[in-house]
Chains A and B, each alone.
Chain A
Amino acid sequence: MGGARVLSSESFEVGSAYEAIEMCFERGWTDGLPVVPPTEPAIVQFLEAARLEPGHVIGTIPERDRVITAEKLAINAVMAGARPEYMPVLVAAVEALTDPAFQFNHLASFGSPWPLMIVSGPAVRELGLNYGTWAMGPGCRANATLGRTLSLLVSNCALGHLGGIQRGTYGHPGRFNSMCIGENPEDFGWQPHNVEMGFDRETTTVTLLSTYPWIQQPTCVQMEPERILAAIGGSIAEGDFVRGVYPIIMGRPWAEVFVRARWTKERMAEWLIEHTRRSVASLKARGRWGVLTSQFDGFGAVTQEVLPGDESRYVWVWKESDLDPYVFDIAATQRKKGIHFVVAGGDGGTRTCWLTPYQFSTNPVTKPVRAA
Chain B
Amino acid sequence: MMERIFDPTSGPVTGKLIMAKRPGTLAGTKLAVLWNGRPHGDKILRRVLDLLGERHDFQVTEFLKKPYIGNVAPKEYFDRILASQANAVLVGIGD
Quick one: closest B residue to A332, CB to CB? B39
Q: Which of A13, A64, A79 contacts B3 (CB 8 A)?
A: A13
Q: Is the CB of A100 within 8 A of B40?
A: no
Q: Is the CB of B69 within 8 A of A360?
A: yes
Q: Is the CB of B10 within 8 A of A157?
A: yes
Q: Which of B1, B5, B72 contacts A12 (CB 8 A)?
A: B5
Q: Which DSSP category, helix, strand, loop or mixed, fits chain A's interface? A: mixed
Residues of B in contact with A, size category: 20 to 34
Quick one: closest A residue to B11, CB to CB? A66
Q: Is the CB of B12 within 8 A of A65?
A: yes
With both chains docked as a complex, state the minimum distance between the C-beta of B17 and any C-beta of chain A, in angstroms.
Answer: 7
When distances are taken between beta carbons in the complex, the residues of chain B under 8 Å from A153 are 8
Q: Is the CB of A11 within 8 A of B6?
A: yes
Q: Is the CB of B68 within 8 A of A65?
A: no
When distances are taken between beta carbons in the complex, the residues of chain B under 8 Å from A126 are none
CA distance A14 to B1 in the complex (A): 8
Given contacts A60-B13, A100-B71, A104-B70, 15 further A-B contacts (CB under 8 A): A7-B6, A10-B7, A12-B5, A15-B2, A20-B3, A39-B5, A40-B6, A66-B11, A66-B13, A67-B10, A106-B70, A157-B10, A294-B40, A297-B43, A331-B39
Q: Is the CB of A63 within 8 A of B14?
A: no
Q: A293 contacts the other chain (Cβ, under 8 Å)? A: yes
Can you list 6 A-B contacts with CB-CB less than 8 angstroms, sorted by A residue number?
A: A40-B6, A60-B13, A69-B10, A106-B70, A331-B68, A331-B69
Contacts from A to B (Cβ < 8 Å): 7, 9-17, 20, 23-24, 29, 37-40, 43, 60, 62-69, 72, 75-76, 79, 100, 103-106, 152-153, 156-157, 292-294, 296-297, 329-331, 360-362
When distances are taken between beta carbons in the complex, the residues of chain B under 8 Å from A68 are 10
For chain B residues 2-26, which have a beta carbon within 8 Å of chain A? 2-14, 17
Q: Is the CB of B3 within 8 A of A37?
A: yes
Q: Is the CB of B39 within 8 A of A15?
A: no
When distances are taken between beta carbons in the complex, the residues of chain B under 8 Å from A156 are 8-10
With both chains docked as a complex, state the minimum distance between the C-beta of A241 and any C-beta of chain B, in angstroms.
Answer: 17
Q: Which DSSP category, helix, strand, loop or mixed, fits chain B's interface? A: loop
Q: Is the CB of B1 within 8 A of A11?
A: no
3 nearest CB pairs, A to B: A103-B70, A105-B70, A361-B70
Q: A66-B13, A67-B13, A361-B69 are in contact. Are A39 and B4 (CB under 8 A)?
A: yes
CA distance A294 to B70 in the complex (A): 19
With both chains docked as a complex, state the minimum distance between the C-beta of A359 and any C-beta of chain B, in angstroms.
Answer: 11
Quick one: closest B residue to A39, CB to CB? B3
Q: B37 contacts the other chain (Cβ, under 8 Å)? A: yes
Q: Is the CB of B3 within 8 A of A38?
A: no
Q: Is the CB of B39 within 8 A of A152?
A: no
Q: B54 contacts the other chain (Cβ, under 8 Å)? A: no
CA distance A206 to B12 in the complex (A): 27
Q: B95 contacts the other chain (Cβ, under 8 Å)? A: yes
Q: A65-B13, A292-B95, A329-B39 are in contact. Are A12 and B7 (CB under 8 A)?
A: yes
Q: Is the CB of A331 within 8 A of B37?
A: yes
Q: Is the CB of B70 within 8 A of A63?
A: yes
Q: Identify which of A65, A76, A330 gathers the most chain B CB atoms within 10 Å of its CB.
A: A65
Q: Which of A11, A60, A330 contacts B4 (CB 8 A)?
A: A11
When distances are taken between beta carbons in the complex, the residues of chain A under 8 Å from B10 are 66-69, 72, 156-157
When distances are taken between beta carbons in the complex, the residues of chain B under 8 Å from A60 are 13
With both chains docked as a complex, state the minimum distance between the C-beta of A329 and any C-beta of chain B, in angstroms.
Answer: 5
Per-position 1/0 for B64-95, Cβ under 8 A of A: 00001111100000000000000000000001
